[in-house]
Structure 1
């Protein structure tokens, strides 16, 4: 048996921030980043955090949005979590072993872990949670064919038996959707998932109150048992829960968000990139880049009846869109915008790829007009774009695409919804839209996690060739082999244009200097405190 406690996460391609999970590798100083020692931790107080949208649900399988995920990370835990360098570390797992044939993973759970209602964590809870992930979460559905069984040999042990070796399995067990819930709360759930009363995890904070559309409050779970003192950062390692409460205020308007930061209404926010220079210039705030990024994309619909079902229309759209102009109009500071067609950040040396870069940089409006005509999208046709202003850049991209199409005589109808309604509209009527705009997390680590590669259920872009490449990646035995397949996957995506990448955006946070112990990792606050 081979024993492993830590597995290097493989920064492969790029993944979602909304459809599957809205959520890079290097941290880059953006402003008055706190480099001085923060001093001794202070226990107590409330941290107020502005978020762009209500989470809608705290069920990370039924509603895997970015805000849901980042609030959920405070409440729930997985067998494995990612640290600040996106390395998979054991969290609820104490140790695990892999059989020599790589077909059996045996996970020993940490002892004396309890849920926030006082119930003990058992292997049956893990089995029930992973079985639901396999059935109902998109990543789990893609991993599931390689899994034979997930069983509980005893109350403290979970055994995962595979049908074939799966190179990224531990990474996938650290991905959104694999949170461990109480088995009793997972029976008979509707497709919309569980309600507030069953939002119970093993994490350092529990749900205290929730005014839908207004604010959500988490309170310290006093029964939380931290790992020892591993300083792993990110979502892994020791969690001290210094704050009494964390209040998430829903602030959809960016002007209100910036004003609230500057007047002290909220302590932390992750504003849009066009606010970066304004906030960076304010000496009363800390502005710092985060270890993550977004792949900004246009998604054409492959479904029959869509204007972009014809590959010539997708090629035309890529040639028509002036990516540098769109990026300049919506990307904010050049510190934050990377003009690249890559799925992974250039910081992710092992998996950054230039495959398809020539397609990304191609721009020829005259040829685009000709190809659209050949595809039956001639002057006078109407293109239907579905978007949201919950993330303002999505709506801005839609308007700029509308302008590009109007220049060649194509009419555009834009429907704008809140984020959850937008996603529901896309899936409810698969042939009722032509384009949508989204971003994907560029730090996720296996093809099964990456919406750019798994959009088939949303836009009909599945294909046997793509499935074969994903199978080839999963069968890899080394980082070098996986990297080679990642190159192929990126090249294929630019060939079929299941997404059209506009750019990558670096993320940043703006927060009060009173916030200490913050590891500049999204909305992770269990080791933070407020200085007096």
Structure 2
């Protein structure tokens, strides 16, 4: 009888909570995520930051998308044709596509979106260099005419990661591509609740109940993107320990980037799963600003790169060797264009050799301003290693701490150090984002290339030839030439290949690889746990 009384007493508060919560519609499926960085920039075309790309996949849609076999499939497009000479492509949009404001998606919207995207993305830049015209034939039909044959148009339009060719309303897409947009009107499976966005605390997305998903089964980025959760909340934490504890306590459901040092505290915990979801992993990179001293001098860049021993970076950032490997190729090891060109230079790292090379380059003592995102355990570990190495070879170093979101805005500054400019920063790329020379990280076009802005005509010649090559063997030869040239001009330092785990509640469904697409995720909790979470309580 005591047990019965106890249960009744515990259920009474729940019953009292249930009615108002259900009436208010608050007991729905709410997925709570601790993302790897704070969302500050909401324009996934302006920045390559993955947090903004993930935001984009919730809010926007694409004409085509890659399936799990890395084959392009139609997404917003219904039907399409290609001329026999592969120069003329026509795309017909699906019925029922609507923007979040209720207006119809039109071909003119898509034309403007592609034009803006093509000015920011490396693959887009290469395709559009051959575009004769891109027009809207009617409200639902897009015509693309090329000067030369191109059989890879669908693959380009289905580009899966930064920068993704997301579709936006024409009025938004007509904005200057060099400036980030603020309007988040999309046509995707979720709507960004801008009024609930609290930078530094949370970002909120609600299910787009008017979204018309495709009927095909979901397959990676393609197929029926049926939103599973009613609401998705990205929640930010002051430190990694708080983030890990929130997962253990059940107040968040998914942690994007747990520190490897904290992974042992998560493993074995009740209802917590730790897993690696990307078999190709990520590539660590140290990026130089070629516009400003001291790294406007190619010999200084090469000297700094000589000090970058991959084992030191990987050990400091990832620890356990099961999470990393050395990789002496700018294209990820295990992928089609990985090669050994200039690999001897990448392997032959030495502080003594770097010190001598720096002296020969006549380094003048200009401080190296390193942007350091303290909220990213991996990247801040990279920064610490580089700062120590550069000081040991005789360079002055100024490490400037900030969060990752601030870094992604600051790195766009081409000004002098006194005006907020910088000398270098560290980052990492999904292996899938740097698999061939077409990607923006490998650009040698100062005007339209990626942050750091190297200018090299020879590099661009090889990248263009790669795009035009007809066979895989030809492409491999040209990829090796691109790699050789990137190392010769000291565009960046490669720091190793690593495999960062994710952590999530065992109640979460819809885990995907290599990118987590949140539209497919939900958390299957008992009704009473969902309600208690809504009022900020825990029930363990």
TM bin (shorter chain): 0.7 to 0.9
Cα 1:405–1:183 change in 2 (3 A) is closer
The answer to whether the 8 Å contact 2:507/2:523 transfers is yes
Within-5 A mapping of 1:326-475 = 326-348=313-335, 350-377=336-363, 382-432=367-417, 433-444=422-433, 446-453=436-443, 456=446, 457=449, 458-475=451-468
Q: Which residue of 2 is the match for residue 529 of structure 1?
A: 522
The answer to whether the 8 Å contact 2:289/2:296 transfers is yes
Q: CA deviation at 1:107?
A: 1.5
Question: d(CA) in 2 for partners of 1:186 and 1:408?
Answer: 47
User: Which residue among 66, 79, 85 is the counterpart of 1:95?
Assistant: 79
Q: Which stretch has the larger CA shift, 210-219 or 427-436? A: 427-436
The answer to whether the 8 Å contact 1:167/1:477 transfers is no
User: Which residue among 238, 245, 256 is the counterpart of 2:224?
Assistant: 238
The answer to whether the 8 Å contact 1:455/1:498 transfers is no
1:296 aligns with 2:284: yes
Question: d(CA) in 1 for partners of 2:501 and 2:444?
Answer: 27
Cα 1:131–1:301 change in 2 (3 A) is closer
Q: Which residue of 2 is the match for residue 318 of structure 1?
A: 305
Q: CA deviation at 1:57?
A: 3.1
Give 4+ residue runs of structure 1 displaced > 4 Å after superposition.
136-139, 187-191
The answer to whether the 8 Å contact 1:80/1:89 transfers is yes
Q: Which residue of 2 is the match for residue 3 of structure 1?
A: none
Cα 1:189–1:495 change in 2 (3 A) is closer
Within-5 A mapping of 1:174-213 = 174-175=158-159, 176-187=163-174, 192-195=179-182, 198-208=183-193, 209-213=196-200
Question: d(CA) in 2 for partners of 1:486 and 1:420?
Answer: 32
Q: Which stretch has the larger CA shift, 117-126 or 269-278? A: 269-278
Cα 1:300–1:136 change in 2 (3 A) is closer
Q: Which residue of 2 is the match for residue 73 of structure 1?
A: 57
Q: Which stretch has the larger CA shift, 465-474 or 505-514? A: 505-514
The answer to whether the 8 Å contact 2:293/2:366 transfers is no
Deviation digits for residues 238-258 of structure 1 (CA, Å, limit 9, x no counterpart): 122121111111235212211
Within-5 A mapping of 1:23-172 = 44-135=28-119, 140-166=124-150, 168-172=152-156
Give the gaps of 5 or more residues in structure 1.
1-42
Deviation digits for residues 63-105 of structure 1 (CA, Å, limit 9, x no counterpart): 4421111122012111112233443222112233222222222
The answer to whether the 8 Å contact 2:37/2:405 transfers is no
Question: d(CA) in 2 for partners of 1:187 and 1:307?
Answer: 37
Q: The residue matched to 1:468 in structure 2 has which SS?
A: helix
Deviation digits for residues 499-527 of structure 1 (CA, Å, limit 9, x no counterpart): 11010122332100001232344331323
The answer to whether the 8 Å contact 1:71/1:523 transfers is no
Deviation digits for residues 201-221 of structure 1 (CA, Å, limit 9, x no counterpart): 221111233222211111111
Question: d(CA) in 2 for partners of 1:283 and 1:330?
Answer: 27
Cα 1:217–1:99 change in 2 (3 A) is same
Question: d(CA) in 2 for partners of 1:429 and 1:98?
Answer: 41
Question: d(CA) in 1 for partners of 2:460 and 2:109?
Answer: 32
Question: d(CA) in 1 for partners of 2:186 and 2:414?
Answer: 34
Q: The residue matched to 1:290 in structure 2 has which SS?
A: coil
Question: d(CA) in 1 for partners of 2:390 and 2:42?
Answer: 39
The answer to whether the 8 Å contact 2:445/2:453 transfers is yes
Q: CA deviation at 1:454?
A: 5.1
The answer to whether the 8 Å contact 1:448/1:454 transfers is no
Deviation digits for residues 408-458 of structure 1 (CA, Å, limit 9, x no counterpart): 343311112233433443332455333221222320255343313457443
Question: d(CA) in 2 for partners of 1:307 and 1:482?
Answer: 34
Q: What's the TM-score once normalised by structure 2's chain length?
A: 0.83
Q: The residue matched to 1:266 in structure 2 has which SS?
A: coil
The answer to whether the 8 Å contact 1:168/1:446 transfers is no
Question: d(CA) in 2 for partners of 1:226 and 1:417?
Answer: 39
Q: What value does the CA root-mean-square deviation take over the aligned residues?
A: 2.6
Which protein is bigger by CA-based radius of gyration? Answer: 2
The answer to whether the 8 Å contact 2:354/2:393 transfers is no
Q: The residue matched to 2:319 in structure 1 has which SS?
A: coil
Q: Which residue of 2 is the match for residue 503 of structure 1?
A: 496
Q: The residue matched to 1:447 in structure 2 has which SS?
A: coil
Cα 1:440–1:205 change in 2 (3 A) is same
Q: Which stretch has the larger CA shift, 519-528 or 123-132? A: 519-528
Q: Comparing both structures, which one devotes a greater share of its residues to helix?
A: 2
Q: Which residue of 2 is the match for residue 260 of structure 1?
A: 246
Q: The residue matched to 1:181 in structure 2 has which SS?
A: coil
Question: d(CA) in 1 for partners of 2:293 and 2:366?
Answer: 12
Q: The residue matched to 1:399 in structure 2 has which SS?
A: helix
Q: Which residue of 1 is the match for residue 511 of structure 2?
A: 518
The answer to whether the 8 Å contact 1:416/1:422 transfers is no
The total of aligned residue pairs comes to 484
Give the gaps of 5 or more residues in structure 2.
1-26, 526-540
